[in-house]
Amino acid sequence: MVLLRLKSVFLTEAANSLDVPMTEISRILILGGTSEAASLAEKVHAHFSERFEVIYSIAGRTKPIRKFVTTVRVGGFGGSAGLAEYITKEKIKFLIDATHPFAKKISANAYDACICTDTPRLSLRRPPWDLPSGTKFVEANDMAHATLILQKIAKRVLVTTGHGDLDKLQKLTNIQFFIRVIEKADRSAFAENFTFITGRPPYSLEEELALMERFAIDTLLSKQSGGDATETKIIAAIRKRIPIVLIRRPLPEPGEHVENFEDAFKWLEQML
């Protein structure tokens, strides 16, 4: 019922705004922030720039270092209703959700907005890491669950989950946390047992092994993100026989999906 009401209100507002001048070109909206999304945006632009404008949208939590030939949009849309309005006003013909596997909120908004606007939508979901038999790892439902596991097995933890939910770790004062982030964090907001390490992936296996050796890491805490850019930390932990605590992915939204940007491009070709 919520979606039906949203669609009704949205279509009414759209009908009232038909007198607003808009360009004739149709657009493809790629919700990005991943290496796969960036590669897809570049390929789509290279092949279809005469027919479509490619809009590459990122949340903007970190500063992008990659230069894009496509139009780049930074920031949120204002929920599913705001995204639905944007889709209509900007004449978005296709939406491809290529966000991070843990970007649950924007994926949910994209699902709702595409239903409301009858916009074809595809999810690009990179496959999770397939850990080999014999790997010392355990899955956690979320960060709170991970803390219960860590307090039983760890003393010096390499954390690669980003800035979110770090407050959950602060109660574990008997554990030293070495937290890798892309951009420098406000150290004053965290406990004394937090050490921040700045860096931007990808990392070589040698770099990951050296990092774990330098800080005498005995446990790795990570999200089950998948992808090639950060899998070397998993390989390094396996090689050093360090236990890995992996936070499970949230359930994905329904709908068509592929696992790599090449198949996403093929989907778009077929739709055209």
pLDDT of residue 5: 44
Residues of the chain with pLDDT under 70: 1-24, 62-66
Nearest to 56 by CA among 73, 34, 39, 76: 73
Predicted local distance difference test score (pLDDT) of residue 24: 65
pLDDT tens digits for range 237-265? 999 999 999 999 999 999 999 999 999 99
- Compute the distance between CA of residue 151 and CA of residue 146 in angstroms, rounded to an integer: 9
Each residue's pLDDT tens digit, 150-171 = 999 999 999 999 988 999 999 9
Q: Where are the beta strands (DSSP E) in 25-97?
A: 26-31, 52-58, 71-74, 92-97
Domains of the chain: 2-127+251-271 (3.40.50.2000), 137-247 (3.40.50.150)
And the tokens for 129?
A: 């890491």
